[in-house]
Structure 1
Amino acid sequence: MEEILKLREASYWETVWDKAKLYGKNPGSEGPVHSVELWEKRAEKFKNNVKGERGKKRTGDVIKWFENQGLSLEGMTILDIGAGPGAFSCAFAEKKARVTALEPTLGMSSTIRERIETEAITGLEVVQMPWEEVDVKKMGWQENFDMVFISMCPGVHNAELFKKAMSCAKKYVYYSGWAGRRDSEAFSELWKELYGEEMPIWRSDIIYNLNWLYAQGYSLAFEVQQDVHREESAVEDAVEELMSRLSFLGKDTTGLKEQVATFVSEQAEAGVFTTNAVSRRGKILVKL
Protein backbone atom coordinates (compact mmCIF):
# COMPACT_ATOMS: atom_id res chain seq x y z
CA MET A 1 0.00 0.00 0.00
CA GLU A 2 2.86 2.34 0.85
CA GLU A 3 4.35 1.83 -2.62
CA ILE A 4 1.03 2.60 -4.25
CA LEU A 5 0.67 5.84 -2.28
CA LYS A 6 4.08 6.96 -3.55
CA LEU A 7 2.64 7.04 -7.07
CA ARG A 8 0.50 9.99 -5.99
CA GLU A 9 3.51 12.04 -4.87
CA ALA A 10 5.18 14.46 -7.28
CA SER A 11 8.48 14.02 -5.42
CA TYR A 12 8.43 10.29 -6.19
CA TRP A 13 8.14 10.94 -9.95
CA GLU A 14 10.83 13.60 -9.73
CA THR A 15 13.22 11.05 -8.24
CA VAL A 16 12.30 8.35 -10.77
CA TRP A 17 12.64 10.89 -13.60
CA ASP A 18 16.18 11.77 -12.54
CA LYS A 19 17.27 8.17 -11.88
CA ALA A 20 15.95 6.95 -15.22
CA LYS A 21 18.32 9.26 -17.07
CA LEU A 22 21.60 8.39 -15.33
CA TYR A 23 24.36 6.84 -17.42
CA GLY A 24 26.88 4.46 -15.89
CA LYS A 25 29.59 6.13 -13.86
CA ASN A 26 28.48 9.69 -14.58
CA PRO A 27 25.82 10.58 -11.97
CA GLY A 28 23.56 13.32 -13.28
CA SER A 29 24.69 12.79 -16.85
CA GLU A 30 22.54 11.71 -19.75
CA GLY A 31 25.49 11.16 -22.04
CA PRO A 32 26.27 13.33 -25.06
CA VAL A 33 22.62 13.65 -26.14
CA HIS A 34 22.60 17.18 -24.68
CA SER A 35 25.84 18.25 -26.33
CA VAL A 36 25.32 21.34 -28.49
CA GLU A 37 28.20 20.12 -30.65
CA LEU A 38 26.35 16.88 -31.41
CA TRP A 39 23.19 18.73 -32.46
CA GLU A 40 25.25 21.19 -34.48
CA LYS A 41 26.38 18.24 -36.62
CA ARG A 42 22.74 17.20 -37.09
CA ALA A 43 21.49 20.64 -38.12
CA GLU A 44 21.39 19.92 -41.84
CA LYS A 45 19.50 16.65 -41.31
CA PHE A 46 16.88 18.39 -39.16
CA LYS A 47 16.56 21.20 -41.69
CA ASN A 48 15.77 18.67 -44.42
CA ASN A 49 13.38 16.71 -42.19
CA VAL A 50 11.06 19.65 -41.51
CA LYS A 51 10.78 20.32 -45.25
CA GLY A 52 9.38 16.84 -45.91
CA GLU A 53 5.77 15.73 -45.79
CA ARG A 54 6.18 13.97 -42.43
CA GLY A 55 7.60 17.13 -40.86
CA LYS A 56 4.83 19.33 -42.25
CA LYS A 57 2.17 16.85 -41.14
CA ARG A 58 3.52 16.78 -37.57
CA THR A 59 3.43 20.57 -37.37
CA GLY A 60 -0.10 20.67 -38.79
CA ASP A 61 -1.30 17.94 -36.43
CA VAL A 62 -0.15 19.90 -33.37
CA ILE A 63 -1.85 23.11 -34.53
CA LYS A 64 -5.06 21.17 -35.23
CA TRP A 65 -4.83 19.56 -31.78
CA PHE A 66 -4.58 23.03 -30.21
CA GLU A 67 -7.65 24.14 -32.13
CA ASN A 68 -9.53 21.06 -30.91
CA GLN A 69 -8.65 22.14 -27.36
CA GLY A 70 -10.24 25.53 -28.08
CA LEU A 71 -6.85 27.25 -28.20
CA SER A 72 -6.26 29.99 -30.78
CA LEU A 73 -2.66 30.96 -31.57
CA GLU A 74 -3.52 34.40 -32.92
CA GLY A 75 -2.11 37.12 -30.65
CA MET A 76 -0.48 34.61 -28.26
CA THR A 77 3.05 35.06 -26.96
CA ILE A 78 4.98 31.80 -27.23
CA LEU A 79 8.41 30.65 -26.05
CA ASP A 80 9.59 27.74 -28.20
CA ILE A 81 12.36 25.99 -26.23
CA GLY A 82 14.69 23.98 -28.45
CA ALA A 83 13.17 25.38 -31.63
CA GLY A 84 15.46 23.44 -33.97
CA PRO A 85 15.21 24.72 -37.56
CA GLY A 86 11.99 26.54 -36.69
CA ALA A 87 9.20 24.33 -38.03
CA PHE A 88 6.85 25.18 -35.17
CA SER A 89 8.13 28.71 -34.50
CA CYS A 90 7.55 29.75 -38.11
CA ALA A 91 4.17 28.02 -38.28
CA PHE A 92 3.02 29.77 -35.08
CA ALA A 93 4.22 33.14 -36.35
CA GLU A 94 2.27 32.55 -39.57
CA LYS A 95 -0.79 32.06 -37.34
CA LYS A 96 -0.09 35.58 -35.99
CA ALA A 97 1.43 34.53 -32.67
CA ARG A 98 4.46 36.43 -31.31
CA VAL A 99 7.19 33.84 -30.92
CA THR A 100 10.57 33.70 -29.21
CA ALA A 101 12.54 30.78 -30.67
CA LEU A 102 15.24 29.55 -28.28
CA GLU A 103 17.79 27.35 -30.05
CA PRO A 104 21.39 26.63 -28.92
CA THR A 105 22.93 25.63 -32.28
CA LEU A 106 24.19 28.09 -34.86
CA GLY A 107 23.21 25.79 -37.72
CA MET A 108 19.53 25.60 -36.79
CA SER A 109 19.09 29.14 -35.42
CA SER A 110 20.59 30.44 -38.70
CA THR A 111 17.96 28.47 -40.61
CA ILE A 112 15.20 30.25 -38.68
CA ARG A 113 16.77 33.65 -39.37
CA GLU A 114 17.01 32.80 -43.08
CA ARG A 115 13.32 31.87 -43.16
CA ILE A 116 12.37 35.09 -41.39
CA GLU A 117 14.18 37.03 -44.11
CA THR A 118 13.24 35.03 -47.20
CA GLU A 119 9.61 34.43 -46.20
CA ALA A 120 9.10 37.87 -44.60
CA ILE A 121 7.92 36.29 -41.34
CA THR A 122 7.00 38.81 -38.66
CA GLY A 123 6.59 38.43 -34.91
CA LEU A 124 9.43 35.92 -34.59
CA GLU A 125 12.60 36.52 -32.56
CA VAL A 126 15.55 34.10 -32.35
CA VAL A 127 17.67 33.67 -29.21
CA GLN A 128 20.70 31.39 -29.60
CA MET A 129 21.37 29.90 -26.17
CA PRO A 130 21.07 26.52 -24.39
CA TRP A 131 18.04 26.29 -22.09
CA GLU A 132 20.28 25.08 -19.26
CA GLU A 133 22.12 28.44 -19.34
CA VAL A 134 19.07 30.71 -19.52
CA ASP A 135 18.48 32.95 -16.48
CA VAL A 136 14.74 33.57 -16.76
CA LYS A 137 14.81 36.49 -14.31
CA LYS A 138 17.55 38.33 -16.19
CA MET A 139 15.81 37.66 -19.49
CA GLY A 140 12.54 38.98 -18.08
CA TRP A 141 10.82 35.73 -19.02
CA GLN A 142 9.10 34.82 -15.73
CA GLU A 143 5.37 34.47 -16.45
CA ASN A 144 6.03 36.40 -19.64
CA PHE A 145 4.55 34.04 -22.24
CA ASP A 146 1.02 32.81 -22.81
CA MET A 147 2.49 29.45 -23.79
CA VAL A 148 5.79 27.67 -23.31
CA PHE A 149 6.23 25.14 -26.12
CA ILE A 150 8.67 22.22 -25.76
CA SER A 151 8.76 19.69 -28.60
CA MET A 152 11.18 16.73 -28.46
CA CYS A 153 13.74 18.96 -26.76
CA PRO A 154 16.74 17.28 -25.05
CA GLY A 155 17.49 20.52 -23.20
CA VAL A 156 14.49 20.05 -20.86
CA HIS A 157 15.53 16.72 -19.44
CA ASN A 158 14.69 16.78 -15.74
CA ALA A 159 12.16 18.19 -13.29
CA GLU A 160 14.23 21.27 -12.41
CA LEU A 161 14.56 22.33 -16.04
CA PHE A 162 10.88 21.59 -16.62
CA LYS A 163 9.94 23.74 -13.61
CA LYS A 164 12.05 26.55 -15.02
CA ALA A 165 10.14 26.27 -18.29
CA MET A 166 6.79 26.32 -16.49
CA SER A 167 7.81 29.47 -14.61
CA CYS A 168 7.84 31.33 -17.94
CA ALA A 169 4.22 30.48 -18.78
CA LYS A 170 1.01 32.32 -17.89
CA LYS A 171 -1.62 30.05 -19.47
CA TYR A 172 -0.27 26.92 -21.14
CA VAL A 173 2.71 24.59 -21.28
CA TYR A 174 3.03 22.14 -24.18
CA TYR A 175 5.42 19.22 -24.03
CA SER A 176 6.02 16.37 -26.46
CA GLY A 177 8.43 13.47 -26.07
CA TRP A 178 8.99 9.80 -26.77
CA ALA A 179 6.24 7.60 -25.37
CA GLY A 180 7.77 4.20 -24.80
CA ARG A 181 8.58 2.77 -28.16
CA ARG A 182 11.30 3.95 -30.52
CA ASP A 183 12.50 1.07 -32.69
CA SER A 184 14.61 0.78 -35.81
CA GLU A 185 15.16 -2.70 -37.23
CA ALA A 186 18.65 -1.81 -38.39
CA PHE A 187 19.69 -0.20 -35.12
CA SER A 188 18.45 -3.21 -33.13
CA GLU A 189 20.46 -5.54 -35.39
CA LEU A 190 23.56 -3.35 -35.08
CA TRP A 191 23.26 -3.29 -31.29
CA LYS A 192 23.10 -7.09 -31.12
CA GLU A 193 26.11 -7.36 -33.43
CA LEU A 194 28.18 -4.92 -31.37
CA TYR A 195 27.19 -5.94 -27.84
CA GLY A 196 25.61 -9.41 -28.11
CA GLU A 197 22.41 -8.36 -26.33
CA GLU A 198 18.99 -6.83 -26.93
CA MET A 199 18.87 -3.05 -27.26
CA PRO A 200 17.94 -1.41 -23.92
CA ILE A 201 14.79 0.62 -23.36
CA TRP A 202 15.06 4.22 -24.52
CA ARG A 203 15.59 6.26 -21.36
CA SER A 204 13.73 9.39 -22.42
CA ASP A 205 9.99 8.93 -21.86
CA ILE A 206 7.02 11.26 -21.40
CA ILE A 207 5.70 9.04 -18.57
CA TYR A 208 7.77 10.98 -16.02
CA ASN A 209 6.50 14.40 -17.08
CA LEU A 210 2.92 13.15 -17.29
CA ASN A 211 2.78 11.54 -13.85
CA TRP A 212 4.71 14.37 -12.21
CA LEU A 213 2.14 16.86 -13.53
CA TYR A 214 -0.80 14.58 -12.70
CA ALA A 215 0.38 14.13 -9.10
CA GLN A 216 0.30 17.91 -8.67
CA GLY A 217 -3.28 18.20 -9.85
CA TYR A 218 -2.75 20.12 -13.08
CA SER A 219 -5.45 20.17 -15.75
CA LEU A 220 -4.06 18.18 -18.68
CA ALA A 221 -4.83 17.06 -22.20
CA PHE A 222 -2.76 14.05 -23.30
CA GLU A 223 -2.43 12.07 -26.50
CA VAL A 224 -0.13 9.37 -27.91
CA GLN A 225 0.43 8.64 -31.60
CA GLN A 226 2.37 5.83 -33.25
CA ASP A 227 4.36 6.40 -36.41
CA VAL A 228 5.47 3.58 -38.71
CA HIS A 229 7.64 4.43 -41.70
CA ARG A 230 10.57 3.47 -43.90
CA GLU A 231 13.78 5.40 -43.39
CA GLU A 232 16.04 5.87 -46.41
CA SER A 233 19.43 7.55 -46.41
CA ALA A 234 22.78 7.60 -48.14
CA VAL A 235 25.37 5.23 -46.69
CA GLU A 236 27.49 8.00 -45.15
CA ASP A 237 24.45 9.65 -43.55
CA ALA A 238 23.25 6.30 -42.17
CA VAL A 239 26.62 5.67 -40.53
CA GLU A 240 26.53 9.08 -38.81
CA GLU A 241 22.94 8.54 -37.65
CA LEU A 242 23.67 5.12 -36.17
CA MET A 243 26.79 6.45 -34.45
CA SER A 244 24.69 9.26 -32.95
CA ARG A 245 22.09 6.82 -31.66
CA LEU A 246 24.79 4.76 -29.97
CA SER A 247 26.00 7.95 -28.28
CA PHE A 248 22.44 8.78 -27.19
CA LEU A 249 22.32 5.47 -25.34
CA GLY A 250 25.55 6.25 -23.53
CA LYS A 251 27.97 4.14 -25.56
CA ASP A 252 31.55 5.15 -26.23
CA THR A 253 31.76 5.12 -30.04
CA THR A 254 35.55 5.49 -30.21
CA GLY A 255 36.90 3.08 -32.83
CA LEU A 256 33.45 1.83 -33.86
CA LYS A 257 32.97 3.80 -37.05
CA GLU A 258 34.62 1.25 -39.35
CA GLN A 259 32.49 -1.58 -37.94
CA VAL A 260 29.30 0.49 -38.27
CA ALA A 261 30.25 1.48 -41.83
CA THR A 262 30.71 -2.19 -42.75
CA PHE A 263 27.31 -3.03 -41.26
CA VAL A 264 25.63 -0.27 -43.28
CA SER A 265 27.45 -1.09 -46.53
CA GLU A 266 26.46 -4.76 -46.32
CA GLN A 267 22.77 -3.85 -46.00
CA ALA A 268 22.68 -0.96 -48.48
CA GLU A 269 21.48 -1.36 -52.06
CA ALA A 270 22.71 0.98 -54.81
CA GLY A 271 24.16 3.29 -52.18
CA VAL A 272 20.86 3.61 -50.27
CA PHE A 273 20.39 2.27 -46.74
CA THR A 274 16.79 1.49 -45.73
CA THR A 275 15.18 0.31 -42.50
CA ASN A 276 11.73 0.03 -40.95
CA ALA A 277 11.13 2.33 -37.98
CA VAL A 278 8.37 2.48 -35.37
CA SER A 279 8.04 5.23 -32.79
CA ARG A 280 5.44 6.51 -30.32
CA ARG A 281 5.27 10.18 -29.42
CA GLY A 282 3.19 11.65 -26.64
CA LYS A 283 2.02 15.21 -26.20
CA ILE A 284 0.74 17.06 -23.16
CA LEU A 285 -1.04 20.40 -22.94
CA VAL A 286 -0.96 21.78 -19.39
CA LYS A 287 -3.65 24.36 -18.62
CA LEU A 288 -2.37 26.58 -15.83
Structure 2
Amino acid sequence: MVEGFMNRSAVLKWEEMYDARLSMMNRDYMVDDWSKRSDDYSESRKTDNYRYGRSVHEILFKNGVVSPKTRMIEVGSGPGTFVIPFADKISHVTAVEPADGMKERIRENAKEAGLSNFDILSSIWQEVDVDGLSKSYNLTISSTVIWMFRDIVEQIRRMEKVSSGYCCLCAGIDSKTHTGDELWNALLGDKPRPTFPEYPLTYDILYEEGIHPEVRIIEHESRRSPENIMKMHQVFYNLFTDMNPDKEEIIRDHVMNHLENGQYVMRFKTAVIWWKARDM
Protein backbone atom coordinates (compact mmCIF):
# COMPACT_ATOMS: atom_id res chain seq x y z
CA MET A 1 0.00 0.00 0.00
CA VAL A 2 2.98 2.33 0.44
CA GLU A 3 3.59 2.18 -3.30
CA GLY A 4 -0.09 2.95 -3.94
CA PHE A 5 0.17 5.96 -1.65
CA MET A 6 3.01 7.33 -3.75
CA ASN A 7 1.43 6.95 -7.21
CA ARG A 8 -2.30 6.88 -6.44
CA SER A 9 -2.55 3.57 -8.28
CA ALA A 10 -5.78 2.59 -6.52
CA VAL A 11 -7.65 5.63 -7.86
CA LEU A 12 -6.32 4.98 -11.36
CA LYS A 13 -7.37 1.33 -11.15
CA TRP A 14 -10.84 2.41 -9.98
CA GLU A 15 -11.21 4.76 -12.96
CA GLU A 16 -9.96 2.13 -15.39
CA MET A 17 -12.44 -0.45 -14.10
CA TYR A 18 -15.26 2.09 -14.23
CA ASP A 19 -14.43 3.00 -17.84
CA ALA A 20 -14.06 -0.65 -18.86
CA ARG A 21 -17.46 -1.51 -17.38
CA LEU A 22 -19.12 1.42 -19.12
CA SER A 23 -17.60 0.42 -22.46
CA MET A 24 -19.25 -3.02 -22.17
CA MET A 25 -22.72 -1.59 -21.66
CA ASN A 26 -25.37 -0.56 -24.17
CA ARG A 27 -26.07 2.28 -21.75
CA ASP A 28 -25.40 3.18 -18.14
CA TYR A 29 -27.91 2.80 -15.32
CA MET A 30 -30.66 5.40 -15.22
CA VAL A 31 -32.81 6.43 -12.27
CA ASP A 32 -35.81 4.65 -13.79
CA ASP A 33 -33.91 1.35 -13.74
CA TRP A 34 -33.82 1.53 -9.96
CA SER A 35 -37.54 2.26 -9.82
CA LYS A 36 -38.12 -0.91 -11.85
CA ARG A 37 -36.04 -2.79 -9.30
CA SER A 38 -37.68 -1.33 -6.21
CA ASP A 39 -39.77 -4.40 -5.39
CA ASP A 40 -36.97 -6.95 -5.72
CA TYR A 41 -34.48 -4.70 -3.94
CA SER A 42 -36.89 -4.11 -1.07
CA GLU A 43 -37.50 -7.83 -0.71
CA SER A 44 -33.75 -8.42 -0.67
CA ARG A 45 -33.03 -5.84 2.04
CA LYS A 46 -35.88 -7.12 4.22
CA THR A 47 -34.37 -10.63 4.35
CA ASP A 48 -34.31 -11.93 7.95
CA ASN A 49 -35.89 -8.71 9.22
CA TYR A 50 -33.23 -6.43 7.68
CA ARG A 51 -30.41 -8.61 8.92
CA TYR A 52 -27.87 -6.86 6.70
CA GLY A 53 -28.68 -3.39 8.00
CA ARG A 54 -29.00 -4.60 11.59
CA SER A 55 -25.57 -6.27 11.38
CA VAL A 56 -24.00 -3.02 10.19
CA HIS A 57 -25.69 -1.07 12.99
CA GLU A 58 -24.49 -3.58 15.58
CA ILE A 59 -20.87 -3.19 14.47
CA LEU A 60 -21.04 0.61 14.46
CA PHE A 61 -22.80 0.71 17.83
CA LYS A 62 -20.26 -1.61 19.47
CA ASN A 63 -17.44 0.61 18.20
CA GLY A 64 -18.94 3.89 19.39
CA VAL A 65 -19.79 5.21 15.93
CA VAL A 66 -23.54 5.50 16.52
CA SER A 67 -25.69 6.14 19.58
CA PRO A 68 -29.37 6.91 20.24
CA LYS A 69 -28.53 10.60 19.61
CA THR A 70 -27.02 10.04 16.16
CA ARG A 71 -28.28 11.93 13.11
CA MET A 72 -27.40 9.97 9.97
CA ILE A 73 -27.55 10.61 6.24
CA GLU A 74 -27.63 7.62 3.89
CA VAL A 75 -26.26 8.05 0.37
CA GLY A 76 -28.37 6.03 -2.06
CA SER A 77 -30.92 4.56 0.33
CA GLY A 78 -32.72 2.35 -2.15
CA PRO A 79 -35.79 0.89 -0.38
CA GLY A 80 -34.44 1.92 3.04
CA THR A 81 -31.33 -0.26 3.29
CA PHE A 82 -30.25 1.48 6.48
CA VAL A 83 -33.20 3.81 7.07
CA ILE A 84 -35.39 1.06 8.49
CA PRO A 85 -32.90 -0.90 10.68
CA PHE A 86 -31.24 2.28 12.00
CA ALA A 87 -34.20 4.63 12.53
CA ASP A 88 -35.59 2.89 15.61
CA LYS A 89 -32.15 3.00 17.26
CA ILE A 90 -30.93 6.53 16.45
CA SER A 91 -32.37 10.05 16.45
CA HIS A 92 -32.96 10.74 12.75
CA VAL A 93 -32.15 9.45 9.26
CA THR A 94 -32.05 11.40 6.00
CA ALA A 95 -32.36 9.20 2.93
CA VAL A 96 -30.74 10.50 -0.27
CA GLU A 97 -32.64 8.73 -3.05
CA PRO A 98 -33.72 9.91 -6.53
CA ALA A 99 -35.80 6.94 -7.77
CA ASP A 100 -39.56 7.28 -7.29
CA GLY A 101 -40.04 3.54 -6.84
CA MET A 102 -37.39 3.34 -4.15
CA LYS A 103 -38.79 6.37 -2.30
CA GLU A 104 -42.20 4.72 -2.29
CA ARG A 105 -40.69 1.55 -0.82
CA ILE A 106 -38.96 3.60 1.91
CA ARG A 107 -42.29 5.11 2.93
CA GLU A 108 -44.08 1.75 2.82
CA ASN A 109 -41.36 -0.05 4.77
CA ALA A 110 -41.15 2.73 7.35
CA LYS A 111 -44.92 2.69 7.83
CA GLU A 112 -44.83 -1.09 8.22
CA ALA A 113 -42.11 -0.72 10.88
CA GLY A 114 -43.90 2.15 12.64
CA LEU A 115 -41.10 4.65 11.95
CA SER A 116 -41.43 8.37 11.28
CA ASN A 117 -38.07 9.87 12.29
CA PHE A 118 -36.74 10.14 8.74
CA ASP A 119 -36.90 12.40 5.72
CA ILE A 120 -36.12 11.84 2.05
CA LEU A 121 -33.85 14.07 -0.01
CA SER A 122 -34.98 13.45 -3.60
CA SER A 123 -31.71 13.74 -5.48
CA ILE A 124 -28.70 11.89 -6.74
CA TRP A 125 -25.85 12.30 -4.28
CA GLN A 126 -23.65 14.19 -6.75
CA GLU A 127 -26.20 17.03 -6.87
CA VAL A 128 -26.77 17.38 -3.13
CA ASP A 129 -25.70 20.78 -1.75
CA VAL A 130 -23.13 19.53 0.74
CA ASP A 131 -22.08 23.06 1.65
CA GLY A 132 -25.61 23.73 2.84
CA LEU A 133 -25.51 20.53 4.91
CA SER A 134 -21.98 20.99 6.24
CA LYS A 135 -21.50 19.00 9.46
CA SER A 136 -25.28 18.56 9.87
CA TYR A 137 -24.98 14.83 10.62
CA ASN A 138 -22.98 12.57 12.92
CA LEU A 139 -22.67 9.80 10.33
CA THR A 140 -22.67 9.56 6.54
CA ILE A 141 -23.18 6.01 5.31
CA SER A 142 -23.49 4.32 1.93
CA SER A 143 -23.88 0.81 0.52
CA THR A 144 -24.09 -0.56 -3.04
CA VAL A 145 -23.69 2.92 -4.51
CA ILE A 146 -20.04 3.88 -4.59
CA TRP A 147 -19.24 1.84 -7.71
CA MET A 148 -21.44 4.34 -9.60
CA PHE A 149 -18.98 7.15 -8.86
CA ARG A 150 -16.06 7.52 -11.25
CA ASP A 151 -14.85 10.48 -9.18
CA ILE A 152 -14.76 8.34 -6.06
CA VAL A 153 -12.38 10.59 -4.09
CA GLU A 154 -14.53 13.67 -4.67
CA GLN A 155 -17.65 11.84 -3.50
CA ILE A 156 -15.87 10.54 -0.39
CA ARG A 157 -14.84 14.10 0.44
CA ARG A 158 -18.43 15.22 -0.03
CA MET A 159 -19.51 12.52 2.41
CA GLU A 160 -17.03 13.89 4.92
CA LYS A 161 -18.26 17.43 4.34
CA VAL A 162 -21.71 16.71 5.80
CA SER A 163 -20.51 14.67 8.80
CA SER A 164 -19.24 16.03 12.09
CA GLY A 165 -18.52 12.48 13.24
CA TYR A 166 -17.90 9.47 11.03
CA CYS A 167 -18.23 8.16 7.49
CA CYS A 168 -18.99 4.54 6.63
CA LEU A 169 -18.80 2.63 3.36
CA CYS A 170 -20.23 -0.88 3.12
CA ALA A 171 -18.39 -2.47 0.22
CA GLY A 172 -18.95 -5.87 -1.31
CA ILE A 173 -16.02 -8.28 -1.23
CA ASP A 174 -17.25 -10.57 -3.99
CA SER A 175 -20.53 -9.76 -5.68
CA LYS A 176 -20.50 -12.89 -7.84
CA THR A 177 -22.72 -15.83 -7.00
CA HIS A 178 -22.09 -19.44 -7.88
CA THR A 179 -24.63 -19.08 -10.70
CA GLY A 180 -23.44 -15.70 -12.02
CA ASP A 181 -21.07 -16.93 -14.71
CA GLU A 182 -23.56 -19.58 -15.77
CA LEU A 183 -26.34 -17.11 -16.58
CA TRP A 184 -24.00 -14.51 -18.06
CA ASN A 185 -22.51 -17.09 -20.46
CA ALA A 186 -25.94 -18.37 -21.45
CA LEU A 187 -27.07 -14.86 -22.40
CA LEU A 188 -23.87 -13.22 -23.67
CA GLY A 189 -21.50 -16.04 -24.52
CA ASP A 190 -17.83 -15.22 -24.03
CA LYS A 191 -18.34 -11.47 -23.63
CA PRO A 192 -16.31 -10.41 -20.55
CA ARG A 193 -18.30 -9.80 -17.38
CA PRO A 194 -18.18 -6.29 -15.90
CA THR A 195 -16.29 -5.64 -12.69
CA PHE A 196 -17.83 -3.70 -9.82
CA PRO A 197 -14.87 -2.50 -7.75
CA GLU A 198 -15.49 -2.30 -4.04
CA TYR A 199 -13.37 -3.92 -1.31
CA PRO A 200 -10.36 -3.99 -0.92
CA LEU A 201 -9.93 -1.28 -3.58
CA THR A 202 -11.98 1.18 -1.54
CA TYR A 203 -9.64 0.61 1.41
CA ASP A 204 -6.61 1.33 -0.77
CA ILE A 205 -8.21 4.54 -2.06
CA LEU A 206 -8.86 5.71 1.48
CA TYR A 207 -5.28 4.85 2.43
CA GLU A 208 -4.02 6.93 -0.48
CA GLU A 209 -6.10 9.78 0.91
CA GLY A 210 -4.29 9.49 4.22
CA ILE A 211 -7.24 7.78 5.91
CA HIS A 212 -6.66 4.66 8.02
CA PRO A 213 -10.14 3.20 8.49
CA GLU A 214 -11.48 0.45 10.69
CA VAL A 215 -12.84 -2.63 8.88
CA ARG A 216 -15.09 -5.50 9.90
CA ILE A 217 -16.38 -8.27 7.62
CA ILE A 218 -19.96 -9.53 7.73
CA GLU A 219 -21.72 -12.35 5.92
CA HIS A 220 -25.33 -12.02 4.86
CA GLU A 221 -27.77 -13.23 2.27
CA SER A 222 -30.73 -12.02 0.28
CA ARG A 223 -33.81 -14.01 -0.60
CA ARG A 224 -36.14 -13.07 -3.43
CA SER A 225 -39.23 -14.55 -5.00
CA PRO A 226 -38.83 -16.03 -8.50
CA GLU A 227 -40.79 -13.12 -9.99
CA ASN A 228 -38.61 -10.48 -8.36
CA ILE A 229 -35.28 -12.11 -9.19
CA MET A 230 -36.37 -12.48 -12.81
CA LYS A 231 -37.17 -8.77 -12.91
CA MET A 232 -33.76 -8.01 -11.41
CA HIS A 233 -31.97 -10.07 -14.05
CA GLN A 234 -34.01 -8.55 -16.88
CA VAL A 235 -33.17 -4.99 -15.81
CA PHE A 236 -29.49 -5.84 -15.37
CA TYR A 237 -28.97 -7.76 -18.60
CA ASN A 238 -30.90 -5.20 -20.63
CA LEU A 239 -27.95 -2.88 -20.00
CA PHE A 240 -25.66 -5.26 -21.90
CA THR A 241 -27.87 -6.89 -24.53
CA ASP A 242 -31.24 -6.48 -26.21
CA MET A 243 -33.74 -8.58 -24.31
CA ASN A 244 -36.19 -10.77 -26.25
CA PRO A 245 -38.57 -13.65 -25.39
CA ASP A 246 -35.84 -16.26 -25.87
CA LYS A 247 -33.49 -14.53 -23.43
CA GLU A 248 -36.30 -14.01 -20.96
CA GLU A 249 -36.95 -17.75 -21.13
CA ILE A 250 -33.26 -18.45 -20.41
CA ILE A 251 -33.53 -16.25 -17.32
CA ARG A 252 -36.72 -17.99 -16.23
CA ASP A 253 -35.18 -21.45 -16.61
CA HIS A 254 -32.07 -20.37 -14.71
CA VAL A 255 -34.09 -18.97 -11.83
CA MET A 256 -36.43 -21.94 -11.54
CA ASN A 257 -33.47 -24.34 -11.55
CA HIS A 258 -31.72 -22.54 -8.67
CA LEU A 259 -34.47 -22.04 -6.12
CA GLU A 260 -34.02 -22.99 -2.47
CA ASN A 261 -37.34 -23.70 -0.79
CA GLY A 262 -39.11 -21.62 -3.41
CA GLN A 263 -36.77 -18.61 -3.14
CA TYR A 264 -33.67 -17.42 -4.97
CA VAL A 265 -30.85 -17.04 -2.46
CA MET A 266 -27.70 -14.97 -2.94
CA ARG A 267 -24.92 -14.99 -0.33
CA PHE A 268 -22.47 -12.15 0.21
CA LYS A 269 -19.52 -10.92 2.21
CA THR A 270 -19.35 -7.19 2.88
CA ALA A 271 -16.66 -5.00 4.39
CA VAL A 272 -17.97 -2.41 6.84
CA ILE A 273 -15.42 0.42 6.60
CA TRP A 274 -15.53 3.51 8.80
CA TRP A 275 -13.35 6.45 9.76
CA LYS A 276 -13.48 9.82 11.49
CA ALA A 277 -14.58 12.45 8.99
CA ARG A 278 -11.95 15.06 8.22
CA ASP A 279 -12.66 18.79 8.06
CA MET A 280 -13.40 19.62 4.44
Same fold by TM-score greater than 0.5:
yes
Return the match for 2:137 from 102, 126, 145.
Answer: 145
TM-aligned CA deviation for residue 208 of structure 1? 2.6
Partner of 1:193: 186
Q: Is the 8 A contact 2:96 2:122 kept in 1?
A: yes
Structure 1 residues 206-215 or 219-228, which shifts more? 219-228
Which is greater in Rg?
1
CA distance in 1, matches of 2:111, 2:188: 48
Return the match for 1:239 from 205, 225, 230.
Answer: 230
CA distance in 2, matches of 1:147, 1:154: 16
Partner of 1:263: 250
Partner of 1:56: 50
Partner of 2:270: 281
Once the two structures are superposed, what CA deviation does each residue of 1:113-153 show, in whole Å capped at 9, x if it has no partner?
Answer: 3455565534311111111222222xx21222111011222
CA distance in 1, matches of 2:66, 2:160: 20
CA distance in 2, matches of 1:226, 1:263: 29
CA distance in 1, matches of 2:225, 2:115: 31
Taking the TM superposition and a 5 Å limit, the aligned residue runs for 1:37-116 are 37-53=32-48, 56-116=50-110
Q: Is the 8 A contact 2:50 2:85 kept in 1?
A: no
CA RMSD of aligned residues (A): 3.2
Q: Is the 8 A contact 1:219 1:287 kept in 2?
A: no
Partner of 2:118: 124
Secondary structure in 2 matching 1:280: strand
Taking the TM superposition and a 5 Å limit, the aligned residue runs for 1:13-52 are 13-23=10-20, 31-33=27-29, 35-52=30-47
- Where does the alignment leave 5 or more consecutive residues of structure 1 unmatched? none
Structure 1 residues 13-22 or 238-247, which shifts more? 238-247
Q: Calculate the TM-score normalised by the size of structure 2.
A: 0.82
CA distance in 1, matches of 2:66, 2:165: 12
Code of the aligned partner of 1:257: N
Q: Is the 8 A contact 1:7 1:13 kept in 2?
A: yes
- Once the two structures are aligned, what percentage of the paired residues are identical? 18
CA distance in 2, matches of 1:9, 1:95: 41
Q: Is the 8 A contact 2:87 2:118 kept in 1?
A: yes
Q: Is the 8 A contact 1:22 1:30 kept in 2?
A: no
Once the two structures are superposed, what CA deviation does each residue of 1:69-107 show, in whole Å capped at 9, x if it has no partner?
Answer: 123421112111111222422332211322211111112
CA distance in 1, matches of 2:109, 2:265: 32
Q: Is the 8 A contact 2:136 2:163 kept in 1?
A: yes
Once the two structures are superposed, what CA deviation does each residue of 1:233-252 show, in whole Å capped at 9, x if it has no partner?
Answer: 32x544332233335xx62x
Q: Is 1:172 equivalent to 2:159 in the alignment?
A: no
Q: Is the 8 A contact 1:23 1:31 kept in 2?
A: no
Return the match for 1:162 from 153, 156, 162.
Answer: 156
Q: Calculate the TM-score normalised by the size of structure 1.
A: 0.80
TM-aligned CA deviation for residue 9 of structure 1? 3.4
CA distance in 2, matches of 1:193, 1:122: 45
The number of equivalent residue pairs is 272
Partner of 2:177: 184
TM-aligned CA deviation for residue 182 of structure 1? 2.2
Once the two structures are superposed, what CA deviation does each residue of 1:242-284 show, in whole Å capped at 9, x if it has no partner?
Answer: 233335xx62x21x33232222344536x99866644332120
Q: Is the 8 A contact 2:187 2:250 kept in 1?
A: no
Once the two structures are superposed, what CA deviation does each residue of 1:206-225 show, in whole Å capped at 9, x if it has no partner?
Answer: 22321111233324111233
Code of the aligned partner of 1:280: K
- Where does the alignment leave 5 or more consecutive residues of structure 2 unmatched? none
Once the two structures are superposed, what CA deviation does each residue of 1:14-62 show, in whole Å capped at 9, x if it has no partner?
Answer: 22221111146759x99523x2111010111122223331x52112211
Q: Is the 8 A contact 1:21 1:30 kept in 2?
A: no
